């Protein structure tokens, strides 16, 4: 059996090596390391793929979130509501901009921000909501957009984990995750569903004025060379990374389908097991693109299961082991433990199994047999 990895980027690369190598070689041959034609090509192709007016590439997903917030002119002290159960980057940039993060609990089924918790957290100071499309599935955007409209709030989607996922609205229409709110961000970190071979990120919006503003912010606040109209940052997707992304974007749907297929095989093997809650999804749909395949383990020792898998050479991980409201950097006297029952429960129950585009049946069987053997 091929060695099991949490993410197998080498096997994925081997299949597209000649295209990737040619893309990189082109940058080297033309010396267009920064802002080369590869970056513009990628921007245009991603706009078409997502059906969004503006993609603004930048250096990574954390910058993308920060720049999106800078573009909205949020002011120190403005409250920004986001999920307690996510990667720290989401709350980090809120704090960094001296906005006030307001962490709220998540939904136990889709593990995304809880609609009830958002409603409870709104105050006159609330200016924005940041839903995170966690593990590859979109948050409930019908409800979030309705709340935002009612209270005049911005919605900034953190789409680092769900590129290519579709969100189906209550009326049956669909849009890609990341093009529903006012602005959104994504990451092209190598292990992401669309990953480059270094750091990369992008901001998406349909708002022309906001896109213009953000294009200046990513480039030191310049709209005209050496005229700095706003405080900006230096955040660029380099041409080599754009070349890699140009080679991979045509395969994104195929990659996401491979992830969904692997998830469906995991789910089938675990069906009916009383200790396992599998992620629910529609195999024929495209709602969940499985950036991570995350199980909840009930009435069993999750940490001992993890050790059992590691002992058998099966990588696995806990995303995320500590709620953000309990992290030293984000402690706040306003938070009460009883406001986070679901996150506090999930951090003890979740385990992520290997998930990538190259998992084969033999590996999946070995992984699922090993999980079931422990839970017997
Ligand atoms: C939910 C979420 N937001 C933001 C980020 C930040 O992306 P990057 O690592 O590219 O800065 C990540 C990356 O792991 C993420 O998972």
Encode pLDDT of 178-195 as tens digits: 999 999 999 999 999 999
Distance 160 CA to ligand 1 centre (A): 5
127 part of a folded domain: yes
pLDDT of residue 281: 85
Encode pLDDT of 87-97 as tens digits: 999 999 999 99
Domain boundary among 186, 218, 250: 250
8 part of a folded domain: no
Q: Is the pLDDT of residue 282 over 90?
A: no
The domain tally of the chain equals 2
pLDDT tier at 118, thresholds 50, 70, 90: very high
Residues 76 and 218 both lie in one domain: yes
Distance 226 CA to ligand 1 centre (A): 31
Domain boundary among 217, 250, 283: 250
Q: Give the pocket of ligand 1 (CB within 6 Å).
A: 60-62, 86-87, 89-90, 132, 158, 160-161, 187, 189, 199, 201
Residues 301 and 319 both lie in one domain: yes
Residues 86 and 201 both lie in one domain: yes
- Strand blocks (E) in the chain: 54-58, 79-83, 100-104, 126-130, 154-158, 166-168, 174-176, 183-187, 201-205, 222-224, 227-228, 276-277, 293-297, 350-353
- 300-311 mean pLDDT: 98
pLDDT tier at 285, thresholds 50, 70, 90: confident
Residues 187 and 96 both lie in one domain: yes
3 part of a folded domain: no
Q: What CATH number is associated with residue 365?
A: 3.90.1150.10
The single residue listed with the structure tokens 């809650």 is: 277
- 148-170 mean pLDDT: 97
* Domain carrying residue 166: 15-250
Beta bridge partners of 201: 58, 187
From 6, 7, 60, 62, the mutation candidate for ligand 1 (largest count of ligand atoms within 8 A of CB) is: 62
Residues 244 and 303 both lie in one domain: no
Q: What CATH number is associated with residue 242?
A: 3.40.640.10
Residues 303 and 244 both lie in one domain: no
Residues 157 and 221 both lie in one domain: yes
Domain boundary among 199, 232, 250: 250
Distance 86 CA to ligand 1 centre (A): 9
Residues 134 and 188 both lie in one domain: yes
């Amino acid at each position: 059996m091929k060695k099991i990895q949490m993410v197998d980027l080498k096997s994925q690369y081997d299949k597209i090596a000649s295209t990737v190598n040619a893309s990189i070689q082109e940058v080297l041959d033309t010396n267009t390391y920064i802002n080369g034609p590869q970056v513009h090509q990628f921007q245009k192709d991603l706009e078409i793929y997502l059906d969004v007016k503006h993609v603004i590439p930048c250096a990574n997903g954390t910058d993308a979130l920060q720049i999106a917030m800078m573009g909205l002119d949020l002011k120190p002290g403005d409250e920004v509501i986001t999920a307690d159960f996510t990667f720290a980057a989401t709350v980090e940039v809120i704090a960094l901009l001296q906005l006030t993060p307001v962490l709220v609990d998540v939904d136990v089924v889709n593990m995304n921000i809880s609609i009830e918790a958002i409603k409870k957290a709104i105050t006159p100071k609330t200016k924005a909501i940041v839903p995170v499309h966690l593990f590859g599935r979109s948050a409930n955007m019908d409800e979030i957009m309705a709340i935002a409209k009612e209270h005049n709030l911005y919605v900034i989607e953190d789409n680092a984990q769900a590129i290519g996922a579709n969100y189906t609205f209550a009326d049956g229409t669909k849009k890609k995750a990341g093009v529903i709110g006012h602005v959104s961000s994504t990451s092209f970190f190598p292990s992401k569903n669309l990953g480059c071979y270094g750091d990369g990120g992008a901001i998406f919006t349909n708002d022309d004025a906001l896109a213009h503003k953000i294009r200046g912010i990513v480039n030191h606040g310049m709209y005209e060379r050496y005229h700095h109209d706003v405080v900006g940052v230096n955040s660029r997707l380099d041409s080599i990374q754009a070349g890699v992304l140009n080679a991979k974007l045509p395969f994104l749907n195929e990659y996401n389908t491979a992830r969904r297929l692997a998830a469906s095989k995991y789910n089938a093997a675990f069906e009916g097991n009383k200790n396992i809650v599998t992620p629910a999804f529609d195999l024929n749909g495209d709602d969940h693109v499985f950036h991570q395949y995350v199980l909840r383990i009930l009435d069993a020792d999750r940490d001992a299961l993890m050790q059992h898998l590691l002992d058998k050479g099966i990588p696995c991980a806990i995303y995320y082991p500590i709620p953000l409201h309990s992290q030293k950097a984000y402690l706040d006297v306003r938070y009460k433990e009883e406001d986070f029952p679901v996150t506090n429960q999930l951090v003890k129950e979740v385990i992520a199994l290997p998930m990538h585009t190259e998992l084969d049946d033999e590996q999946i069987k070995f992984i699922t047999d090993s999980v079931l053997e422990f839970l017997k």
